[in-house]
Structure 1
Amino acid sequence: MELLQLKYFQTVAGLEHMTKAAEELQIAQPSLSKTISRLEEDLGVPLFDRKNRQLRLNEYGKLFLDRVNRIFLELNEGKREIAERSEQGQSQITLAVSIPRVLPELLSSFLKQYPDIKFQQVLRSTTSMKSQLEKAEIDFCISSVPIEGTDIVWEPLMTEEIYLIVPPEHRLSRREEIVLSEVKNDPFISMNTGFGFRNLTDAFCHEAGFIPNIAFEGDEPGVIGDLVRQGLGIAFIPEISWIHHTNPFPNKLRIIEPKCQRTIGLGWSKRRYLSDAAQQFRQYVTDYFSKRSF
């Protein structure tokens, strides 16, 4: 059994289509089909169900694919570790976040101590971050909901309160606190579907006995605040969003029922090799949040 056979199988299994897999691998389809057949002969079982030229990964194939994915993941991590140990690799940390507001001060203070470390940062939904962790494609993620999975570690960093902001002329604008059910008929301006914060606030509304009427969706708290100022709706805003904010959000209301909070945490995969730089960042993040009150 050769690595090339396993790579071919991994590609066919991902596409479940022999012609498309051959095109992606840039080899002749008959040659690819023979390679897969030889692999199945070596294993003594079929890996695909075949019907009318259609391929479907069967139970044996799914089990074997999981092992093959692990093999290539370990090989890739081995290459990364060797590059790090031989000083060929750059000191770069790959970070996915669903809460971009925490990054400017965090990264700025970290880079003052470690100016040679570079970051590759992406904004992702919770589902995407979990997938990237499971595939060991990123070093860390910072998310507002716990991420669970095989070999995934998620460490809580802080818990913050979630508030409601309303337009200046809103009927509740002079209040300091509310029961969430009081706004069940109001239009909401919300984060996009799929983001952890959206799932969390939808759950708050469900606990209060209603489904929110989403008038607008977005992915930037500052833009959401501007839409609220224009009177287009109300919005949930986490406490961290207005820390050091130069343009404070309007008419902040504390929600006394239900209890609206979220916990922010740092996640990583035990499968991914963490460089010295990555380990320094992990420790720094833990210390950073433990010393600050938000």
Structure 2
Amino acid sequence: MELLQLKYFQTVARLEHMTKAAEELQIAQPSLSKTIARLEEDLGVPLFDRKNRQLQLNQYGRLFLERVNRVFLELNEGKRELEELLERGQTQITLAVSIPRVLPQLVSSFLKTFPDIKFQQVLESTSSMKSLLEKAEIDFCISSVEIVGTDIVWEPLMTEQIYLVVPPNHPLARRGKIYLHEVKEESFISMNTGFGFRNVTDEFCREAGFVPNIAFEGDEPVVIGDLVRQGLGVAFVPEISWLDNANPFPNKLEIIEPKCQRTIGLGWSKRRYLSDAAKQFRQYVKEYFSKIPL
């Protein structure tokens, strides 16, 4: 059994199509088919169910694919570890976030101490971050929903209050506190479906006995705040959004009931090799959030 056979199998298993897999691997289809056939012969079981020209990974194939994925994951992590020992590749940290508000100041303050480290950052939904962690494709994620999965560690960093903001001329604008059910008929301006903050706030509304009428979805808190100011709806805003904000959201209302809070946490995979730079960043993140004055 050779690594090339396993790589070919991994590609065919992902695409479940011999022709497409051959095109992606840039080899002749008959050669790929023979390679898969030899692998099945070595293993003594078929890895695919074949009907006409259709391929479908069977129970043996799914079980074997899990092991093959682990093989390549370990090889990749071994390569990354060697690169660090050779003083290459140790200065980049890959980070996924669902809370873009915290990132600029966090990263900029870290880079003042560690100027040689580079960041690769992506804005992802909770489900995407979980997948990236399980595949060991990122070093860390910062999310507002606990991420649970195979070999994933998720450590709480801070808990903050969630407020409601309303337009300046709104009847509730002069109120300091409200019950959430009082805005059940309002149009809501919200984060996109799938993002941690959206999941959390949708659950608040369910606790209050209603499903929010979402008039606008987006992923930019500044845009959401501008739409509220223009009178297009109300919005949930986390407490951290007011930190160092020169243009704060209007008419912040405390929610009496239900209890509206979220916990921000740092996640990483025990499968992924963490460089010294990554370990330094993990410790820095913990200290950074512990000093946030909420």
TM-score bracket, normalised by the shorter chain, equals over 0.9
Q: 1:276-287 counterparts in 2 under 5 A?
A: 276-287=276-287
Cα deviation for residue 90 of structure 1 reads 4.5
Alignment partner, residue 237 of structure 1? 237
Cα deviation for residue 15 of structure 1 reads 0.2
Alignment partner, residue 119 of structure 2? 119
Alignment partner, residue 31 of structure 1? 31
Alignment partner, residue 156 of structure 1? 156
Q: Give the Cα–Cα distance (whole angstroms) in 2 for the partners of residues 179 and 94 of structure 1.
A: 40
- SS of 2:249's partner is coil
Q: Give the Cα–Cα distance (whole angstroms) in 2 for the partners of residues 118 and 53 of structure 1.
A: 47
Whether the 8 Å contact between 2:165 and 2:253 is mirrored in structure 1 is yes
Q: Give the Cα–Cα distance (whole angstroms) in 2 for the partners of residues 43 and 222 of structure 1.
A: 56
Q: Give the Cα–Cα distance (whole angstroms) in 2 for the partners of residues 292 and 56 of structure 1.
A: 51
Cα deviation for residue 257 of structure 1 reads 0.3
For 1:280, give the aligned amino acid.
Answer: Q
- SS of 1:292's partner is coil
Cα deviation for residue 88 of structure 1 reads 2.2
Q: Give the Cα–Cα distance (whole angstroms) in 2 for the partners of residues 183 and 109 of structure 1.
A: 39
Please give the per-residue CA displacement for 1:30-61, whole angstroms capped at 9, x wherever unaligned. 11111101101111111001111110000110
Please give the per-residue CA displacement for 1:124-172, whole angstroms capped at 9, x wherever unaligned. 1111111111111110000000001000000000000000000011110
Alignment partner, residue 51 of structure 2? 51
Q: Give the Cα–Cα distance (whole angstroms) in 1 for the partners of residues 242 and 233 of structure 2.
A: 19
Q: Which runs of 4+ in 1 moved over 3 A?
A: none
For 2:169, give the aligned amino acid.
Answer: E
Give the TM-score, by structure 2 length. Answer: 0.99
Alignment partner, residue 139 of structure 2? 139
Q: Give the Cα–Cα distance (whole angstroms) in 1 for the partners of residues 89 and 22 of structure 2.
A: 32
Q: Give the Cα–Cα distance (whole angstroms) in 2 for the partners of residues 292 and 249 of structure 1.
A: 19
Alignment partner, residue 246 of structure 1? 246
Aligned-CA RMSD value: 0.7
Matched, 1:270 2:270: yes
For 1:285, give the aligned amino acid.
Answer: V
In structure 1, list runs of 5 or more residues that go unmatched. Answer: none
Alignment partner, residue 75 of structure 2? 75
Alignment partner, residue 208 of structure 2? 208
Q: Give the Cα–Cα distance (whole angstroms) in 1 for the partners of residues 131 and 91 of structure 2.
A: 24
Matched, 1:63 2:66: no
Alignment partner, residue 102 of structure 1? 102
Matched, 1:259 2:259: yes
Please give the per-residue CA displacement for 1:194-220, whole angstroms capped at 9, x wherever unaligned. 101111111110110000000011101
Alignment partner, residue 191 of structure 1? 191
- SS of 2:87's partner is coil
For 1:248, give the aligned amino acid.
Answer: P
For 1:146, give the aligned amino acid.
Answer: E
Please give the per-residue CA displacement for 1:247-268, whole angstroms capped at 9, x wherever unaligned. 0100000001000000000000
Q: Give the Cα–Cα distance (whole angstroms) in 1 for the partners of residues 89 and 126 of structure 2.
A: 29
What is the total number of aligned residue pairs between the two structures? Answer: 294
Q: What percentage of aligned pairs have identical amino acids?
A: 82
- SS of 1:106's partner is helix
Larger CA deviation: 84-93 vs 274-283: 84-93
In structure 2, list runs of 5 or more residues that go unmatched. Answer: none
Whether the 8 Å contact between 2:90 and 2:275 is mirrored in structure 1 is no
- SS of 2:174's partner is coil
For 1:75, give the aligned amino acid.
Answer: L
Q: Give the Cα–Cα distance (whole angstroms) in 1 for the partners of residues 291 and 164 of structure 2.
A: 27
Q: Give the Cα–Cα distance (whole angstroms) in 1 for the partners of residues 285 and 196 of structure 2.
A: 20
Larger CA deviation: 89-98 vs 173-182: 89-98
Larger CA deviation: 223-232 vs 80-89: 80-89
Q: Give the Cα–Cα distance (whole angstroms) in 2 for the partners of residues 277 and 226 of structure 1.
A: 38
Q: Give the Cα–Cα distance (whole angstroms) in 1 for the partners of residues 35 and 212 of structure 2.
A: 54
Alignment partner, residue 15 of structure 2? 15
